[in-house]
Homo-oligomer: A and B are copies of this chain.
Amino acid sequence: MTFEGQANMNQLGIVKRHVPRADRAAVEALARHGVATLHEAMGRVGLMKPYMRPIYNPAHVCGTAVTVLLQPGDNWMMHVAAEQIQPGDVVVAAVTADCSDGYFGDLLATSFRARGARGLIIDAGVRDVKELTAMPFPVWSKAISAKGTIKATIGSVNVPIVCAGALVNPGDVVIADDDGVVVVPAAIARQTADAALAREDNETLKREKLAAGVLGLDMYKMREPLEKAGLRYVD
């Protein structure tokens, strides 16, 4: 349980070129599920903070992470990241300090798409949302801002990052939809997809019962534990 990546994480100015991506079949299996289901399937961990919102609705993306560590007000590393994108990737970007500037617009989206990127997750701002919506190029961000950025200070690409409260390693699977963004570590991508599938089968049955008027109180056998917990019914 040592954390080998730590030392490198703390060094700025690194681009890691060869990153093993999560198994492609597992990625596609994960793509069939929503973020809420996957979060449950993983035992309720791995979510980014709920301030990360899609720039348009509905939106959904699933892919392997190319990570970017940016400096405040500076998007130089986004161009460095573009070269590291492989088809099926999702770019995941964090900033070394809180910043709402518009780091990404339609030019970068055009470049990212040409490289095969499926979307962007960024703990900062983006702009050109009308154009991004028209493309469409899905983006989850914490802000929308017309404020541009400079290209003066280096950060890193494909190092472990903390994005909106979640740890993301390059190659991890990132899934985002209207409910938020979840990170599935590459090593457990397959088992998470299997757990999600089992969970969804189970939910279909429950949904039918509930639609027919069965109460969760009865379906989940909650009446006895509620009574034990001290719940009292009064008139």
Contact = CB atoms under 8 A, between A and B. Distances in A.
A207 B215 CA distance: 45
A52 B10 CA distance: 21
B167 A160 contact: yes
Nearest to A74: B73
B16 A110 contact: no
Contacts of A76: 222, 226
Contacts of A180: 127, 144-147
A206 B107 contact: yes
A145 B179 contact: yes
Contacts of A167: 3, 6, 9, 160, 162, 167
Given A144-B178, A229-B13, A3 B1 contact: no
Contacts of A159: 1
Contacts of A211: 110-111, 113-114
B206 A36 contact: no
A83 B79 CA distance: 37
A138 interface: no
A80 B6 contact: no
B147 A43 contact: no
Contacts of A13: 229-232
24 contacts: A1-B16, A3-B4, A3-B167, A4-B4, A10-B42, A13-B232, A14-B234, A17-B235, A35-B146, A39-B146, A44-B147, A56-B57, A71-B150, A73-B99, A79-B220, A80-B217, A83-B217, A107-B216, A110-B207, A130-B177, A144-B180, A153-B229, A154-B230, A162-B166
Interface of A: 1-18, 34-36, 39-40, 42-47, 49-50, 53, 56-58, 71-74, 76, 79-80, 82-83, 96-102, 105-108, 110-111, 113-115, 125, 127-130, 133, 143-148, 150-154, 159-160, 162, 165-167, 169, 172, 177-180, 182, 185, 187-188, 203, 206-207, 210-213, 215-217, 220, 222, 226, 229-235
